[in-house]
Structure 1
Amino acid sequence: MYSVDDLLQLATACFQAAGVPDEDARWTAQVLVRADLQGTATHGLSRLSAYVSGICNGKIKPRTEMKIDETGPVTAVIDADQGLGPVVAKAAMETALDKAKVAGVGITAVRNGNHAGAMSTYTELAASRGCIGFAMTNAQPAIPPWGGRKAYFGTNPIALAAPQKDGQPVSIDLATSVAARGNIIMAAKKNEPIPEGWAIDANGAPTTDPSAALKGAVLPMAGPKGYSLALMVEILSGLLSGGNFGYNVGSIYDEGTAPPGTAMFFMALNPEFFIGQGTFETRVSQLVAEVTSVPLASGYERIRIPGERRQELENERRLHGVPITSETEEELRQICKKYAIAMPKSFKPTSSVAY
């Protein structure tokens, strides 16, 4: 297990060494470490090496210089200029929140962005300020349209968070694929098979080989329904922002130096302009209470609300430490060696724990 402070210190130092300004380095480190805290290792420090490589090969600009076009009282379009994804996404949600505070709703569309980590990071930011947060992003081709055998859409995640009167926000965060592509990347790093039904190879045949899956496509969740949701994300992010979509969206993992040009969509809704802040949060709490009190099906011990398990894991790991895979640990050590960064003195896991 690794201490949260050590991981934050290490990740921040890596980003600073790669040329990222201090404040942006700290924020991006927080985004990645929090993903590991919440059990989403696919979006945690396992991505740090790709982020740093992306900076080094020109896919990601370390100094983010966004151009925010205030197109209306509740809208803005942001050209991220290939900046660091988490920095851009935070600014986009904060812009939406500023507008929602005044007008009840704020919407921002982002073009020329990069991988921004877990979308729940930004919807939960909105919830922490009393608003409903809604976020989505396109990504490099990973999902075929229903009936096709070649990847066209990204895994195109969708997230929503809503504050409640007592307790953590309801926080929904899901990919439109059967599994997040990050899970397949992680399996490939560990040379482990993936479950049947997750992916197809380049010829359209089912595969459990993660390397073949990365050359092929991840299947959409719920068949045509997942395909439809991926299409919706592409319309709201890629098309509405004037950014890349479909085949034109790249990846920080691709060879070459062409930036991914990821597009994103953020919305903040201020309940005060609808039924009032307090009333809304009370109703969310009532909804949660009613949902979790539904009689249990056989074999289940409880009904969870989306985001609940992630928060429980975060609370536990802040106290007892964070597990990371041996592959991720080795990547961190290689980055530190490259930039002559001293490993924290206490960076000695008591056990090797993999997700």
Structure 2
Amino acid sequence: MTQFAPEALTDFCTAALVAGGVRQQVAMSVAASLVYADVRGVESHGILRLPIYLRRVREGMVDVVREPAVVQDRGATALVDGGNNFGAYVGQKALDLAIERARHYGVATVGVCRSNHFGTAAYFAEQAAAAGLIAVIVSNASQTMPPTGGVRPFLGTNPLAIAAPTGGPTPFLLDMATSQVARGKIIAAARRGEAIPEGWAIDAAGQPTRDAEAGLAGAVLPLGGAKGYGLSMAIDILAGVLTGAGYGPHVRNMYEDWGNPQDVGHSFILIDITAFMPLSIFLARMQDYVELLKAEPRAPGIPEILFAGEYEHRLAQGRRETGIFLVPAVVGELSELAADLAVPMPYPIDLVDLRNGRAAAGA
């Protein structure tokens, strides 16, 4: 694997998107979202998505010019038409609006229609927590998961993120797909030529498989059986049915459908903590909660009890210092992209140079 500085990858992503016809402001939002995912160890939503994002632009499946617009507004609620722009950019606009409204009204719900894949929901949820808010953020996705009892994809892996500040450096940040695993992890395994664990997916005939390619041709399985299926459908209602976006099979697959926009929907539900109590009191209560959790008896061999988002936060801190590792297949795709767009590929970094603050920013 090859190691790169996060800043160099962000600059490269931005430059590649701009070279592909994307406005600077939009490109920066998308690049920040992709590299954020890699830094947190969620490679399935990271820079490996850049080639397909750019292909969607070339094929006219993403409108990188049109600005998101508020089309329904009742103060504490608003509906944003994403204009078929990149999901990360549309999502950022919707989040900013939701933060503003939540601070004014105490609670806000901003729905989004006519959007695209918006990366990892944690990217938005962490920003809300940093602003002193509690966030519930959901998005639907193209059909990759069967309903319980079915054998063919109908629902997306429809992610859910819930975040809250803790008073410490690490927010509570639950970020999960409603499938056993995000489909992007199976894509990543296929690119590495690795088998996938039992229970992740079924093949096109509905049979369990450990073959990543067969799993991609079939379907990923719901988390916890009927519970994951039910949660995925609930998110589809909030993000798709309610907002006027696509839902179920009406959300288009960005890897396979080259004749229609994705029409992904999102919902951002934010709560201003100060509508319930002073923020300082809430943070003190959260610190007490975390301390009680950490003091719980541990199972043999477990050095520490972690809460949701803590592992990823620590991983991100490390990767910001030591860099991000990319597998050869992804490096190869990015190199081809760089050559096609005449954008310099970032240099791999030397660990010693990075620690000394001399990481190469790019060729």
**TM-score range, shorter-chain basis?**
over 0.9
5 Å matches for 1:118-137?
118-137=120-139
Are 2:328 and 1:326 equivalent residues in the alignment? yes
User: 1:106 corresponds to which residue?
Assistant: 108
| Aligned structure 1 segments of 4 or more residues deviating by more than 2 angstroms | 346-350
5 Å matches for 1:85-234?
85-234=87-236
Q: Alpha carbons of 1:189 and 1:64: their partners in 2 closer, same or farther (altered >3 Å)? A: farther
User: 1:308 corresponds to which residue?
Assistant: 310
**Partners of 1:197 and 1:165 in 2: how far apart?**
38
CA contact (8 A) 1:85 1:114 kept: yes
**Partners of 2:191 and 2:61 in 1: how far apart?**
22
Structure 2: give runs of 5+ residues left out of the alignment.
352-363
**Partners of 1:50 and 1:256 in 2: how far apart?**
11
**Partners of 2:83 and 2:321 in 1: how far apart?**
39
5 Å matches for 1:284-295?
284-295=286-297
Secondary structure in structure 1 of the residue aligned to 2:146: coil
Q: Deviations over 1:126-159 (max 9, x none)?
A: 1111101110111011111111111111000100
- 1:67 aligned to which of 45, 65, 69: 69
Structure 1: give runs of 5+ residues left out of the alignment.
351-355
Q: Deviations over 1:72-110 (max 9, x none)?
A: 120011111211110011111111111101000110111
CA contact (8 A) 2:29 2:92 kept: no
User: 1:283 corresponds to which residue?
Assistant: 285
Q: Alpha carbons of 1:87 and 1:284: their partners in 2 closer, same or farther (altered >3 Å)? A: same
CA contact (8 A) 1:6 1:347 kept: no
CA contact (8 A) 2:4 2:348 kept: yes
Q: % of aligned pairs identical?
A: 34
Are 2:40 and 1:38 equivalent residues in the alignment? yes
**Root-mean-square deviation (Å):** 1.3
5 Å matches for 1:233-248?
233-248=235-250
**Partners of 2:320 and 2:25 in 1: how far apart?**
22
Secondary structure in structure 2 of the residue aligned to 1:323: strand
TM-score (norm: length of structure 2): 0.93
CA contact (8 A) 1:130 1:270 kept: yes
CA contact (8 A) 2:116 2:264 kept: yes
Are 2:53 and 1:51 equivalent residues in the alignment? yes
Instruction: Report deviation, 1:64.
Output: 4.0
User: 1:259 corresponds to which residue?
Assistant: 261
Instruction: Report deviation, 1:190.
Output: 2.1
User: 2:358 corresponds to which residue?
Assistant: none
Instruction: Report deviation, 1:167.
Output: 2.2
**Partners of 1:89 and 1:319 in 2: how far apart?**
28
Letter in 1 for 2:262: P
**Partners of 1:267 and 1:77 in 2: how far apart?**
12
